[in-house]
Amino acid sequence: MEKSWWKEAVVYQIYPRSFMDSNGDGIGDLQGIIQKLDYLKNLGISVIWVSPIYKSPNKDNGYDISDYRDIMEEFGTLEDFDELLAEVHKRGMKLVMDLVVNHTSDQHPWFLESRKSKDNKYSDYYIWKDPVDGNEPTNWGGYFSGSAWQYDENRGQYYLHQFVPEQPDLNWDNETVRKEVYDMMRWWCEKGIDGFRMDVISLISKPEEYRDGPIHPGEKYSFCGAITANGPRVHEYLQEMNREVLSRYDLITVGETTCVTLDEAKKYARSDGKELNMVFQFEHMDVDSDEYGKWTDKKLYLPDLKKVLNRWEKGLEGVAWNSLYWDNHDQPRVVSRWGNDSDQYRELSAKMLATCLHMMEGTPYVYQGEELGMTNMHFTDISQCDDIEEKNIYVDLVQDAKVYTHEQMMDIISKKGRDNARTPMQWDTTENAGFTTGTPWLGVNPNYTTINAADQVEDENSIYNYYKKLIQLRKEEDIIVYGNYESLEEEDENLYIYTRSLQNKKLLVICNFTDKDLKVPDSVREMVEKNRGILISNYKEGAERLRPYEATVYLV
Ligand code: GLC
Ligand code: CA
């Protein structure tokens, strides 16, 4: 397999709003990030991805961009950015920008012009359709509840927005739009950035014809993503982008590809380098969803998770490249979701989940606070929440459809809502977890007095120092990056077991996803007994049985 620096990297995701506030306005900012770069360097991180920092009215916290070439006022200035980039590079790390080009903000000058008339330079920059029989052009519903179409009085037409109405979709079939995007990307590359994480990039190529989609019983709209994802020209556009921009620089690129299938991923992340380096797939994030999508407290059934991840590991092996993640700014905290966030097991289970992920084949992503085992928040009222998705779904499922009571819904939001990931980073035991001297834009999780960076950096047995060790091992052991993946005991409901092999070397990874003491399965007993050493474990001494949330990596 061909070696690449981005295969060997560990990427750390920063959600700037919640990372570190340097000026006491309660909102994280670029100077705040600069203050914490040594913390990341110490963790061993090689690449930092920052969620959007461009000018934005913040309808979707920066994922609605009104100027691609300027910085959001709350976050700082372009000078701050240049300083950040220089400081990152000075420490031998790299910086990845979030590229949000499926849509812009409705306040972007392109859209302000576009909605003015049907025949100006920008008219065709977005997707405008005439009403059909006085109604919306199709029955499509957006990602965050409601219709995906918005009527505009002035043009007497509807525009498409797969997210909130303030996020109109760009028209990628318009060559001028594509040129503008590539131009803007080159502008950032010339500044010296090191890559792009591409927001919902699987949605950019729309179908040739706009038709109604299927409607599930009890629902009003047909989910647009199922219709628009992996559209007819998406690979053509990404190859063009690759020729025009990506191939001219030494970048790391990862596409956030909602609704991606394994076959599609083989094209996006193809190893000949014609499109992207890797994609974020979502199948493993859906294993605890049900008829209401993620808005359920359905428990994880471990074989479901293993089947998905094993399919992706084997499916892309040798032909493309995987990304590995449990957490990001759109997902709840994994230690609460699939681990155990009780006092007794939080540390063990956070380390177990980290081991399970970081030993797989692919580039691992760490989301801020994951390295501390930060947990979900306990929201009791929707007024404590900020996220537009949570607010909309609350209205949908509690007030309109009456599927859940207030209490049930708040419990589910506390399990699955995006704000769980967005509570401020827990730096120390001072007020507001050291995140801000002002009033934080989103409530701090009260458990910061026991879960915080200051304590964990000092404590050699902490989750932080365990992540540090995992990251270090990856730099030392080629097999962790390039070894072949083989799953074992796929039906086992409690244990996640797999091997990695490279030349004459082999690793056996055993993870106990339960709080029970379990026996080593017969199929791997011999390998365990004859092991040639332990690479890493979240328990100090070896034992005959698998202890609660044990994760051990054997050299076999
Ligand atoms: C991606 C982002 C998410 C955002 C959405 C619309 O899924 O990760 O935070 O809301 O795209 O831009
Ligand atoms: Ca600030």
CA-nearest of 159, 96, 89, 92 to 122 is 159
Contact 278, 322 (CB under 8 A): yes
Ligand 1 within 6 A of CB of 390: no
Strands in 36-190 per DSSP E: 47-50, 54-55, 67-71, 94-99, 128-129, 140-141, 149-152, 157-160
Q: What is the pLDDT of residues 72-112, one digit of tens each?
A: 999 999 999 999 999 999 999 999 999 999 999 999 999 99
Contacts of 374 (CB under 8 A, 6+ apart): 333, 335, 423, 425, 426, 445, 451
Ligand 1 within 6 A of CB of 367: no
489: left (phi > 0), else alpha (psi -120 to 50), else beta? left
> In whole angstroms, what is the distance from residue 320 CA to residue 269 CA?
5
Taking the CA of residue 330 as reference, the ligand 1 atom at the shortest distance is 9
Record the tokens describing residue 500, joined without a space.
């990695």
Record the tokens describing residue 129, joined without a space.
């359709």
- Running DSSP on this structure, what letter comes out for residue 51? P
Output the CA–CA distances (angstroms, integers) from residue 99 to 56, 77, 200, in the order listed: 13, 18, 9
Contacts of 26 (CB under 8 A, 6+ apart): 436, 438, 439, 440, 441
Question: With a cut of 70, which residues of the chain have pLDDT below it?
Answer: none
Check residue 543 and give its pLDDT.
85
Ligand 1 within 6 A of CB of 419: no
Q: Name residue 328's amino acid.
A: N
Check residue 239 and give its pLDDT.
98
CA-nearest of 45, 68, 57, 60 to 15 is 60
Contact 435, 21 (CB under 8 A): yes
> In whole angstroms, what is the distance from residue 285 CA to residue 282 CA?
5
Check residue 219 and give its pLDDT.
86
Taking the CA of residue 64 as reference, the ligand 1 atom at the shortest distance is 12
- Running DSSP on this structure, what letter comes out for residue 552? E
Record the tokens describing residue 292, joined without a space.
């209401």
66: left (phi > 0), else alpha (psi -120 to 50), else beta? alpha
Record the tokens describing residue 167, joined without a space.
């996020």
CA torsion, ordered 377, 380, 382, 385, to nearest 10 deg? -20
> In whole angstroms, what is the distance from residue 511 CA to residue 527 CA?
15
Residue 21 annotated in active site = no
Ligand 1 within 6 A of CB of 421: no
Element (H, E) at 195: strand 195-198
Quote the ligand 1 centre to 283 CA distance (angstroms): 16
> Which of the ligands is closest to the CA of residue 103?
1
Check residue 1 and give its pLDDT.
77
Residue 529 annotated in active site = no
Active-site entry in 199, 347, 387, 477 = 199
Angle between helices 346-358 and 463-476 (to 10 degrees): 20
Record the tokens describing residue 523, joined without a space.
């199929």
Contact 423, 445 (CB under 8 A): yes
* β-bridge mates for residue 454, sequence order: none
Element (H, E) at 309: helix 302-316
Q: pTM for this structure?
A: 0.98
Ligand 1 within 6 A of CB of 166: no
Record the tokens describing residue 261, joined without a space.
């299938």
CA torsion, ordered 444, 445, 450, 453, to nearest 10 deg? -50
Distance between start and end Cα atoms, the chain: 22
> In whole angstroms, what is the distance from residue 553 CA to residue 531 CA?
10
Ligand 1 within 6 A of CB of 100: yes
Q: Pick from 204, 330, 390, 418 the residue to mutate for probing ligand 1's pocket: most ligand atoms within 8 Å of its CB.
A: 330
Check residue 217 and give its pLDDT.
84
